[in-house]
Structure 1
Amino acid sequence: MPKNNVRSLKKHKLSRANKLLRVLWQLIWLLLYRPSPVLLHGWRRFLLRVFGATVEKGAHPYPSAKIWAPWNLTMRQHSCLSHHVDCYCVDKVELGVHTTVSQYSYLCTASHDYTRRDMPLVTAPIIIGDYGWVTADVFVGPGVTIGEGAVVGARSTVTRNVPSWTVVAGSPPKIIGSRDFITSGEILNV
């Protein structure tokens, strides 16, 4: 993690109640969430809500998506955590309306302060704006905001904010274009 990012992270200590709740969630995930058929998004939304997640109508949490602490997850309408996404939500993770996080991506809200000898746990939220798309196998680090309508190309490593309506790719990501929509044969710049 870049040294200048450490300052934006907050120290975090996990309580005993948090640890016990995560053990219970892992059992529910293993026995009821993970084995559910792909089409049963409503069932998985229900299970996530029982554990404190904010999951709106039409959200698509896939059965192989690993969610560390549902109480730190917000999925707006028609957002998606696809196959084999790892949502390490020690801190808040928020997915906007019509936002997709594609297969094998890793959303990581925690790290350690390597500038200290005891390396305490530090966390910061991840926010992905409405209509954003994190494509396949992308790492998103703590404290990152991916702007509205932004697209992050496959296998990118994102440790800094991504501007709205841009297309970025690489490690570190560079802007490679803007996001335009094609409607009825004409291009709309948003």
Structure 2
Amino acid sequence: MNKLKLKNFRSGLDRGASHRFEWCWFFIRAAFFLVPIPLPSRIRVIWLRYFGAKIGQDVVIRGGVNISFPWRLVVGDHVWIGEDVSILSLAQVTIESNCCISQRAFLCTGSHRFDKPGFDLVVKPIVIKESSWVAAQVFVAPGVTIGPNSMCIAGSVVLKDVAPNTIVIGNPAVVKKRQTSEELGDTETRRGETRGGE
């Protein structure tokens, strides 16, 4: 293995925007996202769209959410993003509809090659499929896809893809349970009953 020499590091990252545009985002992020003030989600959504994010309807974004490059963020409808969530969007991050990303979860699209003396940067996209839950303090690694109707239990470290209809737990995350079609049908029935009673 080569000896690490950080002085040789060159990121080579295509940041996807001009320096001026990126600096403008830094100021907006500090003023409207990183503050603990409970601002309405619609204000944060407006700013994210202005900076190139594709955001659906009825999206909830709590305080302290840290998004690196919003122009590499795609969010569906009825998504919840909890307090202090970090989204390192060096590559595209896609969160499909009806997903919940809970407090202090970290969606990380970037890592480094420890076996290279220049500590080469590696970026890969993350996809969270529809109706999934990334619970509190979960780490999602670069290149991971979380299948639809799946859950990552709080504190898990998700280093590889999660199959559809699956619950994972641990560090590294392993399968705890695979949901059956009957269980998924029961869940949808309960959702419909809840909506009907609203």
TM-score by length of 1: 0.84
Cα contact 1:44–1:63 (8 A) shared by 2: no
Shift of 1:12: 4.9
Shift of 1:130: 0.1
Number of equivalent positions? 174
SS in 1 for 2:24: helix
Structure 1 residues 177 and 44 mapped into 2: Cα distance closer, same or farther (>3 Å)? Answer: same
Cα contact 1:33–1:47 (8 A) shared by 2: no
- The answer to whether residue 172 in structure 2 is matched with residue 167 in structure 1 is no
User: Identity, % of aligned pairs?
Assistant: 29
In structure 2, what residue type is equivalent to 1:23? W
Summarize deviations over 1:60-80 as a string: whole Å, max 9, x none: 122211111100111100112
Gaps in structure 2 of 5+ consecutive residues: 1-10, 191-198
In structure 2, what residue type is equivalent to 1:59? V
Q: Which residue is equivalent to 1:5?
A: none
Structure 1 residues 69 and 17 mapped into 2: Cα distance closer, same or farther (>3 Å)? Answer: closer
In structure 1, what is the Cα distance between the partners aligned to 2:49 and 2:111?
Answer: 26
In structure 2, what is the Cα distance between the partners aligned to 1:29 and 1:13?
Answer: 21
Q: Which residue is equivalent to 2:131?
A: 131
RMSD: 2.0
Q: Bigger CA drift: 154-163 or 60-69?
A: 60-69
In structure 2, what is the Cα distance between the partners aligned to 1:157 and 1:140?
Answer: 6
Gaps in structure 1 of 5+ consecutive residues: 1-10, 185-190
SS in 2 for 1:111: strand
Cα contact 1:12–1:122 (8 A) shared by 2: no
Q: Aligned ranges for residues 1-40 of structure 1 at < 5 Å? A: 12-15=12-15, 17-35=17-35, 38=38, 40=40
Q: Which residue is equivalent to 1:53?
A: 53
Cα contact 1:105–1:139 (8 A) shared by 2: yes
Cα contact 2:33–2:66 (8 A) shared by 1: no
In structure 1, what residue type is equivalent to 2:112? H
In structure 1, what is the Cα distance between the partners aligned to 2:92 and 2:125?
Answer: 5
Q: Which residue is equivalent to 2:69?
A: 69
Higher gyration radius (CA): 2
TM-score by length of 2: 0.81
Shift of 1:43: 0.9
In structure 1, what is the Cα distance between the partners aligned to 2:57 and 2:76?
Answer: 8
Shift of 1:108: 0.3
Q: Which residue is equivalent to 1:4?
A: none
In structure 1, what is the Cα distance between the partners aligned to 2:15 and 2:68?
Answer: 15
Shift of 1:36: 7.9
Cα contact 2:79–2:98 (8 A) shared by 1: yes
Q: Aligned ranges for residues 81-96 of structure 1 at < 5 Å? A: 81-96=81-96
Structure 1 residues 166 and 63 mapped into 2: Cα distance closer, same or farther (>3 Å)? Answer: same
In structure 1, what residue type is equivalent to 2:111? S
